[in-house]
Amino acid sequence: LLCKRTGGWFTELKLYDMKTDPGQRLNVAVVYPEQYKKMRALYEEWFDDVFSDYKTRSYIQIGTEEASEMVLSSHDWMEVVKPDGTRAAKPGGEDTPPFAHSIIRRGKLLNGYWDVEIMSAGEYEIKLMRWPEEAGRAIREGIPASTTPIPGGKPFGEGKALDIDNARLEIQGFENSMTVTDEMKSAPFIVDLEKGKTKLKTWFTGKDDLSLGAYYVYISKAE
């Protein structure tokens, strides 16, 4: 069930069979009215719960027993800005972070910070990355265009190579940077962190005013 809600009213309600129609082309709400009503009710319940305290800050928990490693992505950036420092937001003030891999492939020059909560004090390794770890690509490296279509869509375009020279990290008063070389897949920092809520911000910079945040950050307790 796909819904769009504006001002308390549902302006778009569609039902798709994701097993047979992953591209979401055929609305089957009329064919399965009972399933449609059931899923709409569940959606309304979920929507009201999620937005009951939507103004409350959410913090990504780091250093829990359940997750030995946390992966942050640019999708969760707060207060997104362009290289010149101006806000990258919609007219209503909503942030516009790189939320889709297609945007990350294009190398959109944006930055923001993550709201995080350190759950256990200790020494952490924080790795700044241009590409997700499973891609196996270097920070400065590009990615060829895909030839495999996404279900219901087109193949991914080329992943842009960025001439990144420097990586920088700020968290809990720690601030450090390092030179990025051609072979580096990540820029790793070792940081002592205390328990508590804080902001984590990163930079990748280079010539000709190149500046963006690390699209992916991997955090784990240092060994």
The helix (run of H) or strand (run of E) holding residue 198 is strand 196-206
Q: Among candidates 199, 213, 215, 216, which has minimal Cα distance to 82?
A: 213
* Cβ–Cβ < 8 Å for 119, 61: yes
The residues spanned by each domain of the chain are: 2-53, 60-221
Q: How confident is the model over 57-87, as pLDDT tens digits?
A: 889 999 999 999 999 999 999 999 999 999 9
Of 200 and 100, the structure prediction assigns the larger pLDDT to: 200
The reported pTM is 0.81
Q: Among candidates 203, 213, 204, 195, which has minimal Cα distance to 63?
A: 195
β-strand partners of 126: 189, 219
* Cβ–Cβ < 8 Å for 165, 211: no
CATH of domain 60-221: 2.60.120
Q: How confident is the model over 16-71, as pLDDT tens digits?
A: 888 888 777 888 888 989 988 888 888 888 888 877 877 788 899 999 999 999 99
Distance CA 109, CA 94 (A): 18
Q: Among candidates 83, 86, 88, which has minimal Cα distance to 209?
A: 83
